[in-house]
Amino acid sequence: MKQPHTHTSHPAIIKRLRRANGHLSSTIDMLTQGRTCLDVAQQLQAVEKAIQQAKKALIQDHLDHCLEHLVGPLGAGQRHSMDEFREITRYL
């Protein structure tokens, strides 16, 4: 059996995704109830934001744990490049 792949950040990511799921359910209800487009658009923005934050957290966690574990110890020049790479991913 394959070992589960978990990190300490996963509970926080799950929380963000559950929040997005709640926002999405609310959006569907709002459309069913005939709420205004402005209200629905605001709710959709909340869905997008929650998913975006979950994605960022997952990618950052991967860089911090999985990628460095894979490539091993880095020299000073490599460390600087890895830090730059990690920083630029914050803009995803």
Predicted confidence (pLDDT) per residue in 38-57, tens digit: 999 999 999 999 999 899 88
Q: Which two tokens stand for residue 68?
A: 């460095």
Instruction: Band the pLDDT of 33: cuts 50, 70, 90.
Output: very high
Instruction: Band the pLDDT of 85: cuts 50, 70, 90.
Output: confident
* 10-91 is classed CATH 1.20.58: yes
72: left (phi over 0), alpha (psi -120 to 50) or beta: left
Q: Which two tokens stand for residue 25?
A: 């359910």
Distance of CA 13 to the CA centre of its chain: 6
Say which DSSP state 71 is in. H
Predicted confidence (pLDDT) per residue in 48-83, tens digit: 999 998 998 888 888 777 777 777 777 777 778 878
Q: Which two tokens stand for residue 80?
A: 């600087």
pTM above 0.75, yes or no: no
Residues 6+ apart with CB under 8 A from 31: 40
Determine the length of the chain. Answer: 92
